[in-house]
Amino acid sequence: MSTGAAALAAFAHGGDRVAQALHAHGVPCIYTLCGGHISPILAAARTRGIRIVDVRDEATAVFAADAAARISGRPGVAAVTAGPGITNVITALKNAQLAQSAIVVLGGAAPTALQGRGALQDIDQRALVAPHVKRFTKLRRVRDLGPAVADAFALARSDVPGPVFVECPVDLLYDESSIRDWYGQAGGRGRSLPERALRWYLDRHAARMFEGAATTGPVDAHAVQAPRVAARALDAARSALASAKRPLVVIGSQALADAAGADALAAAVERLGIPVYLSGMARGLLGREHRLQMRHQRRAALRDSDCVILAGVPCDFRLDYGRHVRRSATLISANRSPRDARMNRRPDIAAIGDAAGFLRALAPSVPLTATDSAPIGGSGPYDHWQGTLRERDDARETEIEAHSAVVGKHVNPVALLRRLEAIAGENAIFVADGGDFVGTASYVLRPRGPLSWLDPGAFGTLGVGAGFALGAGVTRPDTEVWIVFGDGACGFGLAEFDTFVRHGIPAIAVVGNDACWTQIAREQVKMLGDDVGTVLARTDYHAVAAGFGAEGILVRAMSEVDDALRRARAVAAAGRPVLVNVWLDPTSFREGSLSM
Strand ranges, E, within 422-470: 428-433, 453-454
Listed in sequence order, the residues at least 6 apart from 92 whose beta carbon sits closer than 8 Å to its beta carbon are 58, 59, 61, 62, 63, 66, 461, 464, 467
Q: What is the average pLDDT across 545-557? A: 98
* Average pLDDT along the chain: 92
Please tell me the predicted confidence (pLDDT) of residue 216: 73
Residue 117, pLDDT above cutoff 90: no
Residue 356 is classified by DSSP as H
Maximum alpha-carbon separation in the chain: 96
**400 and 297 in contact (C-beta within 8 Å)?**
no
In whole angstroms, what is the distance from residue 299 CA to residue 464 CA? 28
Single-letter residue type at 113: A
Calculate the CA dihedral of residues 90, 92, 95, 97 and round it to 10 degrees: -70
More confident of the two residues 72 and 370:
72
In a domain, 590, yes or no: no
State yes or no: pLDDT of 462 exceeds 60: yes
Q: pLDDT-based confidence at 118, cuts 50/70/90?
A: confident
Percentage of the chain modeled with pLDDT above 70: 95
Structural domain that includes position 463: 405-583
Instruction: Please report the pLDDT score of residue 594 as a whole number.
Output: 58
Answer yes or no: is 109 within a domain.
yes
Asked whether residue 363 falls in the same domain as residue 509, the answer is no
* Whether residues 369 and 299 fall in one domain: yes
pLDDT of residue 343: 95
Contact 438, 460 (CB under 8 A): no
Does residue 187 surpass a pLDDT of 80?
no
CA–CA dist 195, 496 (Å, integer): 49
How many whole angstroms separate alpha carbon 146 and alpha carbon 168?
11
Q: Which of 350, 383, 416 is the last residue of a domain?
A: 383
Average pLDDT in the 412-435 region?
97
Same domain, 378 and 503: no
CA distance 334 to 309: 7
Please give the backbone phi and psi of residue 226, each rounded to the nearest 5 degrees, phi first.
-70, 140
pLDDT at 46: 97
pLDDT band at 581 (very low <50, low <70, confident <90, very high): very high
Q: How high is the pLDDT of residue 350?
A: 98
- Structure pTM? 0.94
Computed on alpha carbons and rounded to an integer, the radius of gyration of the chain in Å comes to 26
Residue 192's Cβ-side half-sphere holds a number of Cα atoms within 13 Å equal to 5
Distance CA 499, CA 560 (A): 28
Domain assignment of residue 388, yes or no: no
Handedness of CA 100, 101, 102, 104 (dihedral sign): negative
Same domain, 424 and 461: yes
- The answer to whether the beta carbons of residues 463 and 303 sit under 8 Å apart is no
136 HSE (CA, 13 A, CB side): 16
| Number of domains, the chain | 3
pLDDT at 377: 39
308/315 Cα distance (integer angstroms): 12
* pLDDT tens-digit map of 221-237: 888 999 999 999 999 99
Across the range 74-101, mean pLDDT stands at: 97
Q: What is the rounded distance in angstroms from the CA atom of residue 574 to the CA atom of residue 506?
A: 8
Query: Do residue 450 and residue 572 come from a single domain?
Result: yes
Q: 256 and 333: one domain?
A: yes
Q: At what angle do helices 413-423 and 436-444 cross, to 10 degrees?
A: 50
pLDDT number for residue 207: 85
Does the structure show a pLDDT above 60 at 121?
Answer: yes
Do 425 and 565 share a structural domain?
yes
CATH code assigned at 269:
3.40.50.1220
Nearest to 53 by CA among 456, 475, 451, 461: 475
357 and 462 together in one domain = no
d(CA 324, CA 248): 13
Q: Does residue 64 sit within a domain?
A: yes
Model pLDDT, residue 367: 62
Same domain, 379 and 479: no
248 touches 365 (CB < 8 A): no
Instruction: Please say if the pLDDT value at position 67 is more than 90.
Output: yes
pLDDT on residue 295 = 95
228: which strand partners? none
Q: Are 125 and 272 in a shared domain?
A: no
Residues ≥6 apart with Cβ < 8 Å to 63: 92, 95, 463, 464, 466, 467, 468, 470, 471
pLDDT surpasses 70 at 519: yes
The domain boundary, picked from 210, 240, 268, lies at 210
How far is it, in rounded angstroms, from Cα 8 to Cα 16?
A: 11
Q: Is residue 73 part of a domain?
A: yes
Q: What is the DSSP letter of 152?
A: H
pLDDT more than 90, % of the chain? 80
Rounded Cα–Cα distance for residues 332 and 316 (Å): 15
Collapse the DSSP code of 592 into the 3-class scheme (helix H, G, I; strand E, B; otherwise coil) and give the result.
Answer: coil
Give the residue-averaged pLDDT of 383-412.
Answer: 95
Task: Please give the Cα distance from 315 to 17 (Å, whole number).
Answer: 43
Q: Are residues 30 and 170 in the same domain?
A: yes
Residue 593 lies in a domain: no
| 326-374 confidence digits (pLDDT tens) | 999 999 999 999 999 999 999 999 999 999 999 999 998 766 543 344 4
Average pLDDT over residues 70-85: 96
pLDDT band at 590 (very low <50, low <70, confident <90, very high): confident
User: Reduced to 3 states, what is the DSSP secondary structure of residue 210?
Assistant: helix
* CATH number of the domain encompassing residue 203: 3.40.50.970
**CA 396/CA 399 separation, integer angstroms:** 5
- 142-173 as b/e, with b when 16 or more CB fall inside 10 Å? bbbbbbbbbbbbebbbbbbbbbbbbbbbbbbb
Q: Which of 414, 447, 450 is nearest to 430 (CA)?
A: 447
Q: Which residues contact 74 (CB under 8 A, 6 or more apart)?
A: 25, 26, 27, 102, 157
Question: Which amino acid makes up residue 298?
Answer: R
Assess whether 205 and 242 both reside in one domain: no
- In this predicted structure, what is the pLDDT of residue 324? 92
At 483-513, the pLDDT tens digits run 999 999 999 999 999 999 999 999 999 999 9
The answer to whether the beta carbons of residues 470 and 500 sit under 8 Å apart is yes
**Residue 306 domain-assigned?**
yes
**Amino acid residing at 75:** P
Is 77 a domain residue? yes
CA 149 to chain centre: 21
CB 19 within 8 A of CB 48: yes
- pLDDT value at position 12? 75
Residue at a domain's end among 383, 418, 434: 383
Q: Does residue 7 have a pLDDT over 50?
A: no
Inter-CA distances, 256 with 236, 259, 261, 267, Å: 24, 5, 7, 13
Residues β-bridged to residue 555: 582
State pLDDT tens for residues 253-281: 999 999 999 999 999 999 999 999 999 99
CB within 8 Å of 232: residues ≥ 6 apart = none
Identify the helix (H) or strand (E) that includes residue 138: strand 135-138
**What secondary structure does DSSP assign to 335-346, as a single string?**
ES-HHHHTSSS-
φ and ψ at residue 326, rounded to 5 degrees:
-70, 150
CA distances from 167 to 15, 105, 258, 560 (A): 12, 8, 27, 51
